Amino acid sequence: MDLQTFKLSHCEWQERAASVRIEARAFIDGRYVTAGSGRTFKTINPATGQSLAEIAACDEHDVNRAVKAARKAFDSGSWSRAPRAHRKRVLLRLAELLLQHKEELAVLETLDMGKLVQDAVTLDIPASAEGSGTPKLATSSTTKLRRPTKTRLL
Domain 3-142 sits in CATH 1.10.1380.10? no
Integer CA distances (angstroms), 123 to 45, 67, 105, in order: 21, 32, 12
Give the pLDDT band (50/70/90) at residue 41.
very high
pTM for the full predicted model: 0.75
Q: Where are the domains of the chain?
A: 3-142
Helix ranges (DSSP H) in the chain: 3-6, 10-19, 60-76, 84-100, 102-113, 117-119, 125-130, 135-142
pLDDT at 56 over 80: yes
User: How do residues 87-145 score in pLDDT, each as one tens digit?
Assistant: 999 999 999 999 999 999 999 999 999 889 999 999 999 999 987 566 666 666 555 55
